[in-house]
Amino acid sequence: MFAGRLPMPKWRSGCVFENDAKVNWWGDMESKISVFNSSSRPRVVVIEPLAEDYVLSPGETLVFAAEDVEGEFYFAIDVRGEDEVLIYTEGMCGAVVARTRDGERVEFGYNRHLNPSYPKIPE
């Protein structure tokens, strides 16, 4: 079983990824990926196939962790243009949880108001 860190390259589109997979102390597999927005604009991150969206402000990092992983599991990344990143969950997991670098849990829809292409609610 893999236990270690996989270095991920810095993408020209302004995102830095860091992938980590390990076995926690009670024997369950844990996978997580960190996404850092190094661009000067908000960046949309969508977890697929769950269709959960998060918006990262410039300079912000979110860590996405798969819970209740069964068997082989990994994240696949699709950088779509300058403003969107899709992260696919490949394999079985119970949920994907997003946290700030400080460990604060955030729900999907996080910072959605910063997404310029998201429909605004009429006033």
pLDDT band at 27 (very low <50, low <70, confident <90, very high): very low
- Residue 59 sits in which domain range? 4-113
Nearest to 18, CA basis, from 5, 2, 38, 34: 34
Nearest to 35, CA basis, from 92, 90, 77, 94: 77
pLDDT for the residue numbered 30: 62
Q: Residue 120 domain-assigned?
A: no
Nearest to 71, CA basis, from 99, 94, 48, 52: 94
Q: Residue 60 domain-assigned?
A: yes
Q: Residue 52 domain-assigned?
A: yes
Q: Residue 123 domain-assigned?
A: no
Nearest to 35, CA basis, from 110, 92, 93: 110
Write the pLDDT tens digit of every residue in 65-116.
888 888 888 888 888 888 889 999 888 888 888 998 888 998 888 887 777 7
Q: How many domains does the chain have?
A: 1
Q: Residue 119 domain-assigned?
A: no
Phi and psi at residue 91, in whole multiples of 5°?
Answer: 120, -175
Interstrand relation of 84-92 and 43-48 (parallel, antiparallel or unpaired):
parallel
pLDDT for the residue numbered 8: 42
Q: Residue 54 domain-assigned?
A: yes
The model's pTM: 0.71
Q: Residue 118 domain-assigned?
A: no
User: How does the average pLDDT of the chain come out, rounded?
Assistant: 75
Q: Residue 121 domain-assigned?
A: no
